[in-house]
Structure 1
Amino acid sequence: MNTDIHAKTYEPTPARRVAFLGLGVMGFPMAGHLALAGHDVTVYNRNASKSEAFCARLKGAGKVKSAATPAEAAQGAEIVFCCVGNDDDLRSVVLGETGAFAGMAPGAVFVDHTTASATVARELDEIARARGLQFIDAPVSGGQAGAQNGLLTVMCGGDAATFEAVKPVAMAFSRAFTLLGPSGAGQLAKMVNQICIAGLVQGLSEAVAFGQRSGLDMDAVLQVIGKGAAQSWQMDNRGPTMVQDKFDFGFAVDWMRKDLGLVLDEAKRNGARLPVTALVDQFYADVQQMGGGRWDTSSLIKRLR
């Protein structure tokens, strides 16, 4: 298991009692940055070995411990952070007798970093308010590297005062932590993000494949056009590896298809037309059929070779 956490300069903020639920490739370093920033961190993970690994990795950073259930992890926490897989995973760690809400004291805040539906965000916000709790939906962008470096971009939905209370703590793993509207707005903004990425990566794939078939030195071409209007994060960070046919890193195709499924479901509800996004989603299905479910999203180019 990759446990890389690259410490950064943390803004001074009073130590808080926090919990973190979900120690995957994103959650592990995010929780680690909270510990390195001086907060008291209790972690929960469905696979307890990851919680044990976290405590072993961060034992010198401050107060870290693991809990057997989300409710136990949430007891005494002022803020409970969460980053799991999907809507069902989120409900499983939040609701029920062993869920986080059962252990949280009135006034505590639940901050969900899962990329989930806007519907589940609004649902959990309503349940939280009925229990005297606060809920912020806060999906992230920046990938594993952003989590490890503590430089994630976080898109938030929820109450403004609650957001302001959480922000100084969340900046331990963020470079931007922004409120975009009421409950669900964070998840909707993340969908906008994924729509943009889908189109960008497909365009970059076609461009690189076209250039290679034309006999161009694509490393040189990318360096040139990367200084002009075509420049993007995807071109700078994924163009060279696409030329090299390397995809064993980054944001997995399986995860992207999950995210695009959320996008397309939301578009059915709000009436948005997403012809390119729907097409690229099917292209990612082709990549999955090629055995590339765990390849980086830039592997779209494999269809064109």
Structure 2
Amino acid sequence: MTKCAFLGLGVMGYPMAGHLVAQGHDVTVYNRTATKAQAWANAHGGKWAVTPREAAEGADFVMACVGNDDDLRSVVLGADGALAGMREGAIFVDHTTVSAAVTRELYDQAKAAGVSFVDAPVSGGQAGAENGVLSVMCGGDPDAYLSAETIMQCYGRTVKRLGDSGAGQLTKMVNQICIAGLVQGLSEGLHFAEKAGLDIREVVDVIQGGAAGSWQMVNRHQTMADDHFDHGFAVDWMRKDLGICLETANENGVSLPTTALIDQFYKDVQKLGGGRWDTSSLIKRLRALD
């Protein structure tokens, strides 16, 4: 049994923390809304704390999955932050999708406190978190990663270190860039099929096993056809992630014209009231243009 803390119990963190308990670990959780932490503890038999510092005290590993750069700083730093409660030699594992800049900043802060910091953003969505089959892309010191790898395998099917601090976040940016282009292409293809009088399901049945096939096509074509977007990764969060991608690309002198355009398409979806729709709702924008 390993003593763990988990900070942030959103649609991803709630089931991820549950997998740690299911694998026999001693888990204390923290959530900004305390009633959610209490509910988790009642459901899973773990403990909950009123501050990140209290949750982190005595833990070997502290995991976080919160909203953005500022949210991450708020649970790591300060008198009530996790670093104030972590023992020397403990490891902080950040599953939040944030900028590589804040990752490196917190890596340095943790190192000064005698704590290791691994950036480990995840992909796979709510279903991947619930089923324990996430992809976890990691950056940080090799020894810290190796120590944390087994813990992350409680909810990750693919767990891999890509390089030094920030490499995990940069890899997550690649992931989001690829998804954005793919979902827009899928949306255009399915919308074209609709307007041509074809049955989307029959079309996908034919093409999904060929070069056009993808996870998005297999798992989202039916809900896209049904105009149903109440699952998966929300547009608001995708725009947050794409903003990080575009800012980092600008810093590195990289051109991302397609990503920039699709970010604006997602902005249009937000204007339609779809900030909480999942990312496959790009097809909704195309229908609205008809």
Deviation for aligned residue 1:217: 1.3
Aligned to 2:276: 294
2:168 equivalent among 186, 196, 215 = 186
User: How far apart in 2 are the matches of 1:132 and 1:304?
Assistant: 52
2:90 equivalent among 108, 129, 135 = 108
2:76 equivalent among 75, 89, 94 = 94
The secondary structure found in structure 2 opposite 1:237 is helix
1:29 to 2:15 alignment: yes
Q: Which moved more, 1:236-245 or 1:291-300?
A: 236-245
1:147 to 2:133 alignment: no
- Offset from partner CA, 1:262-289 (integer Å, 9 cap, x none): 0011011011110000000000000000
* Normalised TM-score (structure 1): 0.93
Aligned to 1:230: 212
The secondary structure found in structure 1 opposite 2:163 is coil
1:124 to 2:106 alignment: yes
Amino acid in the other structure paired with 2:108: E
1:43 to 2:35 alignment: no
User: How far apart in 1 are the matches of 2:222 and 2:172?
Assistant: 26
The secondary structure found in structure 2 opposite 1:38 is coil
Unaligned runs of 5+ in 2: none
Amino acid in the other structure paired with 1:65: K
User: How far apart in 2 are the matches of 1:217 and 1:149?
Assistant: 31
User: How far apart in 2 are the matches of 1:248 and 1:66?
Assistant: 29
The secondary structure found in structure 2 opposite 1:256 is helix
Aligned to 1:55: 41
Deviation for aligned residue 1:232: 0.4
User: How far apart in 2 are the matches of 1:269 and 1:204?
Assistant: 30
Deviation for aligned residue 1:207: 0.2
RMSD: 0.6
Aligned to 1:78: 60
1:177 to 2:163 alignment: no
User: How far apart in 2 are the matches of 1:206 and 1:111?
Assistant: 38
User: How far apart in 2 are the matches of 1:257 and 1:20?
Assistant: 25
User: How far apart in 1 are the matches of 2:167 and 2:100?
Assistant: 7
Amino acid in the other structure paired with 2:282: L
The secondary structure found in structure 2 opposite 1:208 is helix
The secondary structure found in structure 2 opposite 1:295 is coil
Aligned to 1:8: none
The secondary structure found in structure 2 opposite 1:154 is strand
Aligned to 1:200: 182
TM superposition outliers: structure 1 runs of 4+ over 6 Å = none
The secondary structure found in structure 2 opposite 1:177 is strand
Deviation for aligned residue 1:303: 1.3
